[in-house]
Amino acid sequence: METLQVTKANALKAFEEANTKGKALLSNLFGEKVFRKNVMERIKSYEDACEELGERPLSLSDFNFLPAIDREYHYHDHRRVIIARALNEGWVSDYGDTDQAKYYVWYKYLGSSRGFAYYRYDYIYSYSFVGARHEFKSLELAKYFAAQFIGEINACFTIKQS
């Protein structure tokens, strides 16, 4: 039997140019994982994160069951949690595993006219003084979240009081 060798670059190019049936064929031949873009290329917005997780995007009105003063915070916190879950691609921190690094972002408040900005990135082992739902499996993902989604951070923590 003759063996056919295909470079990954050529397979990716063929996949990009293929129609739906061609993409299905290539995925069956080489596996879906070969053609999946990096998570940071796939997740650019809250809506992208919802699509990745197969969840319906929520709007602020979905939080009307909460007292008015709490709605915006919980809405924007929900968005941050969904984005972090999508970026982590199923990874969940294990606080029982002291060898597992967990990365999170520190923010610095720059004042009411400028909001929050990233301050630094860090990692922890089995102890924490931050919310576990906003941790990342890698430093690269923590940095990406801080840069790409700083608007979500500002929206969550600089809520305007009426």
pLDDT digits (tens, 9 = 90+) for 39-97: 999 999 999 999 999 999 999 999 999 998 899 889 999 999 999 999 999 998 888 88
145 near 87, Cβ under 8 Å? yes
Check: pTM over 0.75? Answer yes or no.
no
Residue type, 61: S
Rounded CA separation 137/119 (Å): 19
What pLDDT is stored for residue 84 in this prediction?
A: 94
Indicate the helix (H) or strand (E) that contains 124.
strand 116-124
Tens digit of each residue's pLDDT (9 = 90 or more) over 111-127? 655 555 555 555 554 44
Beta bridge partners of 120: 106
**37 φ/ψ angles, rounded to the nearest 5 degrees:** -70, 160
The tokens describing 112, both together, are 């009411």
